[in-house]
Amino acid sequence: MTVLAISEHRRGELRDVSFELLTAGREVADALDTDLHVAVIGGDVAEHAEELNHEGVDVIHTVPAGEEFNHGVYTQVIDSLATDLDPRVLLMPNSVNGLDYAPAVANGLSLPLVTDVIGFDASDAVSATREMYASKVETTIEIDADRFCMTIRPNEWAKAEGAGDAEIREHEIEIDESRVRSTVTGFEEVGGGDVDISDADVLVSVGRGIEEEENIELIEELADALGATLSSSRPIVDAGWLPKNRQVGQSGKVVTPDVYLAIGISGAVQHVAGMKGADTIIAINTDPNAPIYDLADYGIVDDLFEVVPELTAQFS
Amino acid sequence: MKILVTVKEVAEAADDFELPDGALDIDERYLEYDLNEWDEYGVEEGVQIAEENEDTEVVSVTIGPERSEETIRMALAKGVDRAIRIWDDALEDVAFLDVEARARILAAVVAEEDPDLVLTGVQANDDGFGATGIALADRIDFEWAAVVNHLDLDVEGGLAHVHRELEGGVEELTDVELPAVLSIQTGINEPRYASLRGIRQAQSKEIVPYELADLDLDADVTDSPLSLTSMYEPETESSATVFEGSPEEEADQLGELLGEMGVVEG
């Protein structure tokens, strides 16, 4: 009986969530009184195994399988490892790639799947915690199964640190190429251009609360008055109101300015992933329960259309 | 060619919702229903493909009660040809329909419709599981790609050239064999507004209601080892200093702070 965590790497490097999986995995393994195994699939498996050898990890499985992630390969490898190890829990990242293979793995093994997990408990019944309604509520999902799959939300668990003495097991798993029906042909960096928001000391950032494209001007005027750089949350870029290089968040830029002024931004987890490292966070939002206030140092709970022009006027 | 687009009517909770102890869901009076944001992009992508390729039919499928017909009609008004709505007494009583159940129900629709391409949203903005599309693909033995934000279909070559939106401003370029399930990310296109003509036409388009038995499914399709046993408001961790007063007074205090921090000379 084990917990088997699947690490994630991209373009030669392990992603942070791989180290968070070790912490989450140890927590789940302790709760279920079992061992923690970790798998490295593809890439430089020997080097990654070394990097993942942290306190709390019992066994690391290495499976050479090409350079980059391919879900046709991952599903076959995990299927084979799971058949071999019979893990109690298969733990995967709730990343873009995690969501590209975890549901297929769960389906293939006929196991229940709980995604985007932010907490785990086995003291009474086995259960996972996850959010609903755009982070407005949390729910408890009870898991009445001997074997199950979970994907964990990035940035929720700390990265594992202490040195470990895990046993490393090398595997050779034959891949049925006829079942690999997608080919990764390359990668593309997006969001380049004349402005690099990750360089700015002060960011004035606009979100869905701005309502209309023509209102963006209000925020631009404030940014100009403050000598700050304009950035935004995802919906503004999706709508085509600002270019991709202005987007703060998980799929955009990670920023660490001195001051981050979030205007009409609720603070969805994907946005927070991109700005939580700012020194001072100031929020202007009508909803006092918006998640952005969990991070904010200062706030104005009021209508941005009334507050922002007043603020701009002070500095013009 | 036939494209199946999965759509879901989702609930958004009002800012001032209340959740009594022991409740397993937010009361209806605090909920507002709309088409899932991701599905709007899926619908638009399907309709655009149909506009560019002759003899292409776009069919939407939803699992939802009668109430959701109004939302589905909006998809029809935007160019979807016809719709299927699955509902059943057995679904009425289920508080939590898990990924497997959804995938099994949708797989039965795929068996019936035999599409070449299935488009789903990346996730639903109410429960946010983000897994139904890929679980469906594996179940029906279609190829797939998750979180697609660019799609170029090569029908003759039997390939979908897609971009998958990875984290950190990186996109993965992938060729996906057809038939396939693609989970569509927001921003892939600009969803159109329904025209008056479209809205009129949608009134005469067909929304076929199915019960589970119509799809050769038993009520036990909803059985799951997973159950939602509690729902609560997360404890707020806010330690923010909130400026109060009129908008002018609030702006004054914030302006003073920005001045003190040296953000602006003033």
pLDDT for position A1: 83
Residue A106 has pLDDT above 70, yes or no: yes
Q: Which residues contact A272 (CB under 8 A, 6 or more apart)?
A: A155, A249, A291, A292, A295
Closest Cα of chain B to A165: distance in Å?
31
Within a domain: B239: no
Within a domain: A192: no
Within a domain: B126: yes
Within a domain: A274: yes
Closest Cα of chain A to B111: distance in Å?
17
Is residue A231 domain-shared with residue A145, that is, in the same domain?
no
Instruction: Say if the Cβ atoms of B243 and A298 lie within 8 Å.
Output: yes
Give the Cα separation of A41 and A298 in Å (integer). 44
Within a domain: B262: no
Residue B88 has pLDDT above 60, yes or no: yes
Within a domain: A184: no
Instruction: Say if the Cβ atoms of A182 and B177 lie within 8 Å.
Output: yes
Is residue A113 domain-shared with residue A28, that is, in the same domain?
yes
Residue B266 has pLDDT above 70, yes or no: no
What is the torsion angle, in degrees rounded to the nearest 10, for the CA atoms of residue A249, residue A213, residue A264 and residue A236? -10
Please identify, among A179, A209, A234, the residue that sits at the C-terminal boundary of a domain.
A179
Within a domain: A162: yes
Per-residue DSSP letter, A148: E
Q: Tell me what the mean pLDDT of segment A265-292 comes to.
A: 94
Residues A252-277 have pLDDT tens digits of 999 999 999 999 999 999 999 999 99
Helices (H), B85-151: 89-92, 99-113, 132-140
**Closest CB from B143, B230, B248 relative to A182:** B143
Q: Tell me what the mean pLDDT of segment B113-132 comes to.
A: 96
State the complex-level ipTM: 0.94
Within a domain: A188: no
Is residue A85 domain-shared with residue A219, that is, in the same domain?
no
Q: Tell me what the mean pLDDT of segment A2-24 comes to.
A: 97
Q: Flag whether residue B112 sits within 8 Å of chain A, measured between CB atoms.
A: no
Amino acid at B149: N
Instruction: Say if the Cβ atoms of A107 and B103 lie within 8 Å.
Output: yes
A204, closest residue in chain B (CA to CA): B263
Domain that residue B189 falls in:
2-222
Give the Cα separation of B48 and B150 in Å (integer). 13
CATH code of the domain covering residue A278: 3.40.50.1220
Q: Tell me what the mean pLDDT of segment B231-253 comes to.
A: 91
Look at chain B and report how many structural domains it folds into.
1
Is residue A51 domain-shared with residue A139, that is, in the same domain?
yes
Closest Cα of chain B to A167: distance in Å?
31
pLDDT for position B238: 82
B 3-62 residues with CB < 8 A to A: 11-13, 15, 17, 19, 26
Banded pLDDT at B202 (limits 50, 70, 90): very high
Residue B188 has pLDDT above 50, yes or no: yes
The answer to whether A109 and A146 are in contact (CB under 8 A) is no
Burial annotation B196-222 (CB, 10 A radius, 16+ → b, else e): eebeeebeebebeebebeebebeeebb
Is residue A238 domain-shared with residue A109, that is, in the same domain?
no
CATH code of the domain covering residue B107: 3.40.50.620
What percent of chain B clears pLDDT 90, i.e. is strictly above it? 92
What percent of chain A clears pLDDT 90, i.e. is strictly above it? 94
Domain that residue A25 falls in:
2-179
Look at chain A and report how many structural domains it folds into.
2
Is residue A90 domain-shared with residue A202, that is, in the same domain?
no
B224, closest residue in chain A (CA to CA): A112
CA pseudo-torsion sign A305, A310, A311, A316:
positive
Within a domain: B101: yes
Within a domain: A191: no
Give the Cα separation of B260 and B266 in Å (integer). 9
Within a domain: B14: yes
Instruction: Say if the Cβ atoms of A294 and B167 lie within 8 Å.
Output: no
Residues B7-17 have pLDDT tens digits of 999 999 998 89
Helices (H), chain A: 16-31, 45-52, 71-85, 98-108, 216-226, 234-238, 269-275, 292-295, 304-315
Residue B73 has pLDDT above 90, yes or no: yes
pLDDT for position B110: 98
Burial annotation A222-242 (CB, 10 A radius, 16+ → b, else e): bbebbebbbbbbbbbbbbebb
Is residue A217 domain-shared with residue A174, that is, in the same domain?
no
pLDDT for position B216: 96
Closest Cα of chain A to B54: distance in Å?
26
pLDDT for position A178: 95
The answer to whether A18 and A122 are in contact (CB under 8 A) is no
Residue B265 has pLDDT above 80, yes or no: no
Is residue A104 domain-shared with residue A211, that is, in the same domain?
no
Is residue A136 domain-shared with residue A273, that is, in the same domain?
no
Q: How far is CA B50 from CA B43, B58, B75, B124, B194, in A?
A: 11, 7, 14, 24, 16
Is residue A208 domain-shared with residue A171, that is, in the same domain?
no
**Closest CB from A131, A143, A188 relative to B226:** A143
Is residue A174 domain-shared with residue A204, that is, in the same domain?
no
Residues B135-152 have pLDDT tens digits of 999 999 999 999 999 999
- Residues of chain B in contact with residue A140, where contact means CB-CB under 8 angstroms, are 228-231
Within a domain: A311: yes
CATH code of the domain covering residue A39: 3.40.50.620
Instruction: Say if the Cβ atoms of A103 and B135 lie within 8 Å.
Output: yes
Residue A39 has pLDDT above 60, yes or no: yes
Instruction: Say if the Cβ atoms of B172 and A145 lie within 8 Å.
Output: no
Q: Tell me what the mean pLDDT of segment A209-222 comes to.
A: 96
Residue B227 has pLDDT above 80, yes or no: yes
Is residue A23 domain-shared with residue A156, that is, in the same domain?
yes
Query: Token pair for residue A151?
Result: 């994907």
Give the Cα separation of A93 and A106 in Å (integer). 13
Q: Tell me what the mean pLDDT of segment A33-40 comes to.
A: 98
